[in-house]
């Protein structure tokens, strides 16, 4: 690095920190990135070995997210798309519900699906039309209520909320009460109607890896945990001290920066279990939902339906709280799969508990303005937790913090 260049440090090589680094690089500035983990991506990670692609928790990239189209080479990710619908397993019956305006094969099954009235299905259609026309700005400046109250006020029946919206959005919000802000519901619903739920062919980790590949290798310091950021000095767990003119903290900063209220932010958690199965899948990449209050399984899909030539593996997400050991949970999930869906799961391949999956936020915004990311003269904040738990917010907040640093260096007004 040229010595006249400011020293810029980013703490966190998650999607937000990486997007900040890419934004700085595109403006001609090099940043040094530190991460405590041995890999890039933070919460966006996969184990991809021996022909298996096991994401750390089921997550999808909605290809309508504005930020992914700005920062990612979508074509290179070779996205695998889920069909715009789901299979609902309820009281021994299977119902197929989807968006017939995008996939006509859903028309008849959706009309006849016994998970809601015809009025409910009409309301889904009218909501998708309404949200297509509502701008993202209008969504995030609308008054907030919970998703549950929003759906009730919109006129959906209790049956439709219990059988479809609750399991579907529990799988997205990672909480079972639909207590998440109606702004997030509207945003996610809009993204689903305008695009597809996708996973890159190489697994979800291909997203941060593509971002990291744009950065010089020597800028990335993995296995380097930061313990404090005080003024222009950064302390590492290994005892090193680093001088930094501008620092972007792309993770909750409460433990690192003095005088911040120690955030102790609550998180939503999820457990995902991967099983071998003889089942050949559902013939299409579709999400299965189990709509039964007494059942722990929330949603599942087959990796062999998503990835080319993948072994027959089923991925099952458990979101409800329980006190079971891993062994008990595994046995319970196998039993529930058999009883609720008639799918026989063989041996467990892997189980991941993700304790800090999504930040539990009371009030949501779309993303930060650059000026809002500035904490002190030299410290800036990024990360999804500042706005809403999504790849989109993580990227946009990384970009905003980087733009604030650029304005500061160049002496322009931070917008």
Ligand X SMILES: Cc1cc2nc3c(=O)[nH]c(=O)nc-3n(C[C@H](O)[C@H](O)[C@H](O)COP(=O)(O)OP(=O)(O)OC[C@H]3O[C@@H](n4cnc5c(N)ncnc54)[C@H](O)[C@@H]3O)c2cc1C
Q: Which residues bind ligand X (CB under 6 A)?
A: 11-17, 34-37, 42-44, 57, 59-60, 225-226, 250-251, 256, 270, 354, 357-358, 383-384, 389-391, 394
- Torsion, CA 387, CA 393, CA 396, CA 400, rounded to 10: 20
Based on CB atoms, which residue is closest to ligand X, 117 or 376? Answer: 376
**Partners of residue 230 on adjacent β-strands:** 233
Query: Which residue has tokens 């299979």?
Result: 87
Please, which residue, 36 or 409, has the CB nearer to ligand X? 36
Q: How far is the CB of 206 from ligand X (least distance, A)?
A: 13
Task: Identify which of residues 57 and 195 has a Cβ nearer to ligand X in the complex.
Answer: 57
How many of the other CB atoms lie within 10 Å of CB of 163? 24
| C-alpha to C-alpha distance for 119 and 100, rounded to whole angstroms | 15
Q: Torsion angle, CA of 236/240/246/250, rounded to 10 degrees?
A: -20
Instruction: Say if residues 388 and 184 touch (Cβ distance below 8 Å).
Output: yes
Q: Shortest distance, CB of residue 369 to ligand X, whole angstroms? A: 17
By C-beta, is 12 or 203 nearer to ligand X?
12
- Cβ neighbors of 368 (< 8 A, separation 6 or more) are 381, 386, 387, 396, 397, 400, 401
Nearer to ligand X, 49 or 238 (CB): 238
Q: What does R_g of the chain's alpha carbons equal in angstroms?
A: 22
Query: What is the sign of the dihedral through the CA atoms of 81, 355, 314 and 52?
Result: positive
Question: What is the enclosing helix (H) or strand (E) of 258?
Answer: none
Smallest distance from the beta carbon of 112 to ligand X, in angstroms? 29
Of residues 34 and 156, the one with the C-beta less far from ligand X: 34
- In this structure, are strands 267-277 and 287-290 parallel, antiparallel, or unpaired? unpaired
Least distance in Å: CB of 26 to ligand X? 18
CB of 187 to ligand X, least distance (A): 10
| Least spacing, CB of residue 411 vs ligand X, in Å | 28
């Amino acid at each position: 690095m040229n010595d006249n260049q400011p020293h810029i440090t980013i703490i966190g090589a998650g999607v937000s920190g990486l997007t900040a680094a890419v934004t700085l690089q595109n403006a001609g500035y090099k940043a040094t990135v530190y991460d405590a983990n041995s890999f890039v991506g933070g919460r966006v990670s996969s184990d991809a070995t021996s022909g298996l692609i096991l994401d750390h928790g089921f997550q999808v990239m909605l290809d309508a997210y504005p930020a992914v189209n700005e920062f990612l080479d979508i074509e290179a990710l070779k996205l695998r798309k889920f069909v715009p619908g789901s299979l609902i397993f309820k009281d021994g019956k299977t119902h197929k519900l989807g968006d017939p305006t995008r996939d006509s094969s859903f028309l008849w099954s959706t009309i006849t699906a016994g998970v809601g009235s015809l009025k409910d299905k009409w309301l889904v259609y009218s909501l998708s039309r309404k949200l297509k026309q509502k701008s993202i700005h209008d969504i995030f400046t609308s008054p907030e209520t919970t998703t549950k109250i929003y759906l009730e006020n919109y006129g959906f029946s209790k049956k439709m909320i219990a059988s479809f919206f609750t399991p579907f959005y529990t799988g997205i919000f990672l909480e079972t009460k639909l207590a998440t802000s109606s702004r997030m519901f509207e945003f996610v619903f809009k993204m689903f109607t305008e695009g597809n739920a996708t996973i890159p062919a190489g697994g979800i980790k291909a997203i941060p890896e593509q971002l990291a590949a744009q950065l010089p290798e020597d800028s990335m310091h993995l296995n380097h945990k930061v313990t404090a950021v005080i003024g222009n000095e950064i302390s590492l767990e290994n005892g090193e001290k680093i001088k930094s003119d501008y620092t972007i903290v792309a993770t909750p900063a409460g433990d690192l920066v003095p005088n911040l209220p120690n955030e102790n932010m609550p998180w939503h958690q999820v457990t995902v279990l991967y099983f071998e199965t003889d089942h050949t899948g559902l013939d299409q990449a579709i999400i299965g939902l189990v709509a039964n209050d007494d059942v722990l399984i929330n949603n599942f899909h087959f990796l062999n339906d998503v990835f080319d030539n993948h072994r027959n593996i089923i991925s099952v997400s458990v979101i409800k709280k329980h006190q079971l050991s891993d062994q008990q949970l595994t046995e319970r999930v196998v039993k529930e799969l058999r009883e609720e869906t008639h799918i026989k799961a063989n041996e467990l391949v892997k189980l991941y508990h993700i304790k800090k999956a999504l930040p539990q936020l009371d009030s949501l915004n779309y993303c930060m303005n650059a000026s809002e990311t500035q904490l002190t003269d030299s410290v800036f904040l990024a990360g999804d937790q500042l706005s809403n738990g999504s790849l989109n917010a993580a990227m946009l907040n990384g970009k905003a913090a980087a733009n604030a640093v650029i304005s500061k260096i160049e002496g322009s007004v931070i917008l």
